[in-house]
Amino acid sequence: MLKYLKLSALLYSFVLYFIVIMPCRAQTKDSLMLRKITNDILLHGKCYPWLGSMCRTIGPRLSGSPQAAAAVEYVYQIMKTLHLDTVYKQECMVPHWVRGEKESAKILTTNAGEFPASICALGGSVSTPAEGITAKVVEIDSWEELKKMGGEGRIKGKIVFYNRPFDETIIQTFAAYSKAVDQRYNGPSEAARYGAIATIVRSMTNRLDDNPHTGNMGYNDSIAKVPCCAISTMGAEQLSGLLKIDTGLRFYFKMSCETLPDEKSYNVVGEIKGTEHPEQIIVIGGHLDSWDLAQGANDDGSGVMQSLEVLRVFKSLGIHPKRTIRVVAFMNEENGGRGGSKYAELAKLHHENTIAAIESDAGGFSPRGFGITGTTKKREEIERWKNLLFQYGLYDFGGEGGGSDIDPLKVQGVTLIGLTPDSQRYFDIHHSALDTFDNVNKRELELGAASLAMLAYLISLYGL
């Protein structure tokens, strides 16, 4: 009996060790490493000065531009200095749209004179005639209203003004953006369907100011292509107010934008090979291109530099990941998505095993968590690390995740993850002249980089 009790006690000790003590020790070890990663980034991080240098010396980086080419080389050289296992450029052809001369616009009233209006051409728009366009304006708040007025012939020969604002009751501003942006993208062709000669769209922001916000739009090739511009929110409010008291009001604007032949460009790729499962790849990235009105600091220079910081901190701390960490600076997210599509195409061609793709493309603001798109099992595997990440302000794992550059990998069964920063200030600056380096907070940027690095470390250690 005593022998049986001793064996039972020994067995109990083994069970206790493997079920309770061993996992606790592993979690303690992981917690210490996450702290080392965060401390190193907060004390010795390079993402902030890297971003500052790119923004100030290169500036706006619209696809096809000389600045975009300079940014490719800049990131390539940073990767080379990190002594990675692999660094290369991945060729892709990208669209080349240019804005031309600064746009001009004014509201022409019948009895109160003229008022200047702040506008900018939407990406991909055709130009106006050299003398500009002058016409009466029809304000539209919904597709139903457009269809009704178009059917009645009240749109033909006029400028359609889309003035549907962000829904201020939606807490997550990206959701508010999603509900409003269809009028920017689809508006020109839908208005032209009913004979409109041009369109104006309220800028995609919930901030009331005089800065117009650009962004991509799309034409239906079976419908006439009409010029389209964005007007500042203050300009939209003024135009709407004047239309209510002056039915004869006209709007004048002039744009000289054009689309040039496609240009050769590149994604920039750097990686640290996994020590045990090098064939299992964790992709981390952001997009290198930006709109041409500002420096593209938050959209998305911040995401690129945060991703590079992951590589730097792994090398700095001598972390040898079990699975391959691959950082990609994608090209042409803003007006074509060619870089993301080319990356996914080549990943499929080479039969790569990408176990997770993480994107940072929501600004360099304080991180709040990660959105996840994948199977329930994969989501649960990531959420088991919530206790480790909570102390770093990462608590929100409830939403869907991904990003324009990594979304093409979804059909290959890849788990998509998007860094979720605080979103309240993002659309104040998004696609506008305010997206400059001075609107990036160093500590917030570094905490976002630490969030990416911590998640990459855990996935590299345990897999998905």
Report the alpha-carbon angle 176-180-182, nearest 5. Answer: 135
User: Does the bond joining 300 to the residue before it have cis omega, within 30 degrees of 0?
Assistant: yes
3-state secondary structure of 99: coil
What does the H/E/C string look like for 176-231?
HHHHHCHHHHHHHHHHHCCCCCEEEEECCCCCCCCCCCCCECCCCCCCCCCCEEEE
Instruction: State the CB neighbour count (10 A cutoff) for residue 227.
Output: 24
Report the alpha-carbon angle 48-46-318, nearest 5. Answer: 150
CA distance 400 to 404: 13
Contact 363, 449 (CB under 8 A): no
Pick from 294, 414, 409, 290: which is nearest to 361 by CA? Answer: 290
CA distance 65 to 374: 36
CA 358 to chain centre: 12
Strand 86-98, strand 228-231: pairing: unpaired
Instruction: State the CB neighbour count (10 A cutoff) for residue 463.
Output: 16
CA distance 256 to 102: 8
3-state secondary structure of 170: coil
Helix or strand holding residue 419 (H, E): strand 415-421
CA distance 60 to 294: 6
Strand partners, 199: 160, 228
Residue position matching structure tokens 């107010």: 241
Catalytic residues: 333
The DSSP output letter for 396 is B
State the amino acid at position 215 in one-letter form: G
Strand 104-108, strand 114-116: pairing: antiparallel
Length of the chain: 464
**What is the four-CA torsion angle of 147, 153, 154, 159, rounded to 10 degrees?**
80
Q: Which two tokens stand for residue 193?
A: 């369907």
